[in-house]
Structure 1
């Protein structure tokens, strides 16, 4: 690994940062004392909301809604429709087209038409079912292929690449093409969408929302109510999971709660039933991936033409950024000498798809891995060898979008995992096993991940933090990031404790609120710690600078001989307790508060020209997975997993390992068990845990090893760490590739037509096709 420059904090011993401290709310989580919005004590007179929607139309027009029985139902205080919106009836995070309440036109099954406000939640839900609808249903467009045929889009097609693709493909020694389906995914957070709004004086409103983006909730609630942003406070202490599903999708429910509070003058709360949450909120984008590649006799890519058909749903939502990131990661770890990558963003009469952990990147990575597996089958080379031959490297280090890969650790990281997982010996054993067994087939795959870290919408790469030091030496911390179980608050508090040289328990973590840190970015793109940690560090150093100036003058000691550690302020050869110095500073009228601000350096992106540096750095990882497949039933079992992931200098190894393992399992679910099924009428049929299967404990193999790669971030990130929220999800591509490998053993040289997720049905379709090829 190449050496990087170090800063002073990289050289001195650290007492809080890089320690495996438990999540700040861990004990509260396991004892049930962690307060979520539904656990908050409700103010007297709180009303409850339930959404009303037409169960018979996925596309069409509602000419009339008879709400007589709804209004007359027990406990009903009000029924809100689009006519009650005083401002703009739209909760879109981007270009519009997302009405808070539908007004006449219905564009997907589950679209909210009205909202019942009642004394109890049960009364509201029962009343919402009493509406009578008069309208006309059309024929919905449900699939990406149907939308492609109809020419319906939510956004224009986008493409980038380099070189003369036709010539490179035509001159290639070998050529192939393929198509496969990449399924979507339900977020399945444990806490469903929820919001509570309390009206204040002069038209103000305070909204508690389970959201990853409080500033967007503030802005859109203000827009819907027709009031200034400053009249709205959005707050969240913690979410019971988000995974991207609460980046833009939380806003509609916050708007409804705030609107009901304005109409009734009483506190109002909405919590979606699980089935309603399934049908009314967006998912991961499902795609059809086509590829056409030229390669040489050694399996090295010479040209790659990649085309994604993306089902975006009925509106744009976050589809521009999601699909762009699919394209950014369609290379994964591989260099494409000549390449074109294009994406069609298609409109369907299904719920508008949205952010999901990886934000489109996983679909691109999976397509790249499918190309590698296909080449391996056609050449007969070991798939890992094909992958290594196509890695980025010296002279082969520029991405299809023109960014140079400067921090590449792929060869070293993959090499380390290849040895620690005993890949080569196991590969030989699997070949022997498959030769002896006709029904059960084993497969193994070792796949890499290269994932860009930063928002590709450049202005989102900024953060603020507010730090107060109180006269007893305790510290109040607030920043714009949100906590959804990932440990962001813990990591940022570790940074603050380290900066002041105090114990972690002396830092008080407080709820995220727009009243303290304004104009925050969403907690997404794996950038929460990078952005908010740096903002908090800057605030701490501003306060420390003032304290050092005071101490230097008070004690006649040069500033370079003053340090903060072990709860003390080191002054030359002596020390004074931190709290005592704080009191002295206060008495001397030294400011002990600061609002830190950070913006990510170096990044640029010109989308029109498809050029720039959209990512500050890359995070890397690799996974080796082994599976066994029953070719008579399609059943599959993951038998062993080995993970090695690059977190730079980890801020908290315990939390990072938790994120790596959790991300992997969630990705494994996406690629093996979690299947979204819409019928031809546009109705989501997998809208409950009874029909939608996330991984359970028994799906995780006993042989599961996770290690952190011994690396360092060459860029000046917070304490040289690397982001870890999203990249590990793509490690699960190794499971899908291992299933592909097992099926491929049925007929060497024939590419299995395996779609994702690799459910038993999908596996049997691929197996049947392979057996036909045998015949």
Structure 2
């Protein structure tokens, strides 16, 4: 245990031999599916003439609402996501029909032959449009304590403003894809690139009007998910399944990358309206924030996403009087969905921006303002009433990083550089992360695992978690190997399937290892106890004198190979199969009263980032990053460090280069790699230092480890704050008018604003 083992598919990834759905050998007669899309963003569908589509050579079937035997609903919860639009159109590109053809290219070309007559209305695109029309996908929600407005009004100092945070495209390497194979008696088998096989199973059954037990969904691996395949892989699996049902033949749907951009949701973009009161030392006395989230055309997962943004609106800071409100605004854009951090990054970045504003107003070092507002022993209740128990971890981790990154000396050095450099400005920021671990929808905090021990000593492992490149499979396999004291080579990792482990939760909320690792440990533990009991009886020794390690079983003064004891158990009719089940303890949350404990624990981290900015062009470079992150007692340090590095870079992309642009008609203009810029290798700093904070989870998680999937993304807040710090050097008497993403254009606008001249009028040089 705690070995830095490589990813179980790492070599196959590099060699190109790892099988994804598009690598599965297609059964004879497989058909291909393409989507017919809406040409408008808002309005009504008046007529849909598909005559030319059906007549196209190679087209086998054309699917519309009329072909759906069950409910025209692929939503996760609220029933507001039709498989195909019937009358009302709510975003540009919305699926109107599907073409099933003998070749993918034929299906895609045929879809363009449809004659679509619509009655268009002016679409709602922005937060402001939605506010004007008072359109929401879900009711407003708020919580807090005390009278925040009164505390702000009575504070020695007050600030207020608006802060905008952009959305983000998931840009998984493997796009949305599904392969559906019809079986006998109405059964259907679906290969889906999904983080939630159970939801795919359930929604396929709903749309086809068959029992869940008739549907099997299998996922071996995804080429990335990041939340984009938690709820939004479902529609494409359902479409493929419906095509298979109608044609009686295997059907595959693989979205083109441009269509994937247009048809699938993004990270929610926010406008956060804030007010804060504070004293001369920068200590907050009152905070009021309203998060206005652009949710898109339907609810999807916006309830949980925006709630988590609210839960993380404090980040690591105690707010004595606080109001956290939210609006889930409806726009005629594709429905936004889960994305790594699930709303937490948006709420967290807003309060970090406020901390910088306070620092600029008081003239104090931003890190000192952060320290002054950290949770403490007598200041340890969140705005939603949960106690922050690991105060020492928060303080110790940040203080350790401050020293190891040489923050104070570098701060002085940068100040001296900026004083003598009129154009190039450097910036430095050290920001913390406190991220709650658990699904805030309590019933999702459960997992199952299935473990078989075969008579030769090999072990079959299956669980409800999905592998999207994050290393979940290898971690859970390590747990099983540890329990039996056997080599990893004995444990066979198998594809996630609803046929083996039912009613699973999505692999999300950073809980994959916590939940599935514990379920697998429970299953393996039950088998091990039965084997121990048999060995104790057979050898006449107490169970306490039996130990499993090094591929052997030590029984008193004797030992035998693990496989030999397994064989003896088989001969003695000892059960060597077990379904383990785990549910997270302690968590409760009553949303109506905003009371309870929505998280089992918090994961902590901090990052110190240094940047340099050309204030005449907005070009910038991340020079150095120091990260210290709390993963408890790591199950696999190599996997965890990889997650930290990857999460940080993805967060950096969200905050610096990735910008989603819609035109006034609701069309996504940044719909391909040519117009949407994710980080590349040259964006990763040459000086990139990542360390794990020595710590043990105080809660009884799997081997006292902590979740690592999502929290590292928010370490990239330090990059945004460092950029703001560099821009602030242009005129230290003013706040920095910078929103996220801090693209070169946005940085240049901010620099020019501080110089007091509009863009395009930069004088002589």
TM-score normalised by the chain length of structure 1: 0.97
C-alpha distance in structure 1 between counterparts of 2:572 and 2:214, whole Å: 37
Q: 2:195 aligns with which of 196, 205, 212?
A: 212
Any unmatched runs of 5+ in structure 2?
Answer: none
- Residue 648 of structure 1 is matched in structure 2 by 632
- Residue 496 of structure 2 is matched in structure 1 by 512
- Residue 405 of structure 1 is matched in structure 2 by 388
SS in 2 for 1:413: helix
- Residue 171 of structure 1 is matched in structure 2 by 154
C-alpha distance in structure 1 between counterparts of 2:432 and 2:148, whole Å: 26
C-alpha distance in structure 1 between counterparts of 2:114 and 2:38, whole Å: 8
> Is the CA contact (8 Å cut-off) linking 1:70 and 1:127 kept in structure 2?
yes
> Is the CA contact (8 Å cut-off) linking 2:204 and 2:241 kept in structure 1?
yes
- Residue 77 of structure 2 is matched in structure 1 by 94
- Residue 538 of structure 2 is matched in structure 1 by 554
C-alpha distance in structure 2 between counterparts of 1:96 and 1:743, whole Å: 46
C-alpha distance in structure 1 between counterparts of 2:733 and 2:479, whole Å: 53
Q: 2:428 aligns with which of 429, 444, 452?
A: 444
1:153 paired to 2:142: no
- Residue 122 of structure 1 is matched in structure 2 by 105
Q: 1:316 aligns with which of 282, 288, 299?
A: 299
Q: 2:684 aligns with which of 674, 691, 700?
A: 700
C-alpha distance in structure 2 between counterparts of 1:339 and 1:59, whole Å: 38
SS in 1 for 2:664: coil
- Residue 334 of structure 2 is matched in structure 1 by 351
C-alpha distance in structure 2 between counterparts of 1:767 and 1:290, whole Å: 23
> Is the CA contact (8 Å cut-off) linking 1:747 and 1:773 kept in structure 2?
no
- Residue 468 of structure 2 is matched in structure 1 by 484
Q: CA deviation at 1:110?
A: 1.0
| Count of aligned pairs | 758
- Residue 355 of structure 2 is matched in structure 1 by 372
Q: CA deviation at 1:166?
A: 2.6
C-alpha distance in structure 2 between counterparts of 1:294 and 1:166, whole Å: 9
1:360 paired to 2:367: no
SS in 2 for 1:340: strand
> Is the CA contact (8 Å cut-off) linking 2:158 and 2:277 kept in structure 1?
yes
TM-score normalised by the chain length of structure 2: 0.98
> Is the CA contact (8 Å cut-off) linking 1:379 and 1:749 kept in structure 2?
no
C-alpha distance in structure 2 between counterparts of 1:371 and 1:448, whole Å: 14
List 4+ stretches of structure 1 deviating above 6 A.
Answer: none
Q: CA deviation at 1:773?
A: 8.4
- Residue 455 of structure 2 is matched in structure 1 by 471
- Residue 243 of structure 1 is matched in structure 2 by 226
> Is the CA contact (8 Å cut-off) linking 1:65 and 1:134 kept in structure 2?
yes
My pick for the range that moved more, 565-574 or 478-487, is: 565-574
C-alpha distance in structure 1 between counterparts of 2:303 and 2:495, whole Å: 30
Q: Could you report, residue by residue, the CA deviation over 1:209-254 in whole angstroms, capped at 9, with x for unpaired residues?
A: 0000000000000000000000000000000000000000000000
1:144 paired to 2:138: no
SS in 2 for 1:385: helix
Q: Could you report, residue by residue, the CA deviation over 1:737-756 in whole angstroms, capped at 9, with x for unpaired residues?
A: 00000111111131111010
Equivalent residues in 2 for 1:417-456 (5 A)? 417-456=401-440
Equivalent residues in 2 for 1:272-671 (5 A)? 272-408=255-391, 409-671=393-655
Q: 1:255 aligns with which of 232, 238, 243?
A: 238
> Is the CA contact (8 Å cut-off) linking 2:149 and 2:288 kept in structure 1?
no
C-alpha distance in structure 1 between counterparts of 2:150 and 2:229, whole Å: 45
SS in 1 for 2:756: helix
> Is the CA contact (8 Å cut-off) linking 2:181 and 2:189 kept in structure 1?
yes
Q: CA deviation at 1:169?
A: 1.1
C-alpha distance in structure 2 between counterparts of 1:123 and 1:290, whole Å: 49
- Residue 12 of structure 1 is matched in structure 2 by none
- Residue 78 of structure 1 is matched in structure 2 by 61
SS in 2 for 1:761: helix
Q: CA deviation at 1:105?
A: 1.5
C-alpha distance in structure 2 between counterparts of 1:561 and 1:545, whole Å: 13
RMSD: 0.9
Q: CA deviation at 1:574?
A: 1.8
> Is the CA contact (8 Å cut-off) linking 1:628 and 1:636 kept in structure 2?
yes
SS in 2 for 1:518: coil
> Is the CA contact (8 Å cut-off) linking 2:167 and 2:659 kept in structure 1?
yes
C-alpha distance in structure 1 between counterparts of 2:635 and 2:122, whole Å: 53
SS in 1 for 2:158: strand
1:717 paired to 2:694: no
C-alpha distance in structure 2 between counterparts of 1:116 and 1:166, whole Å: 56
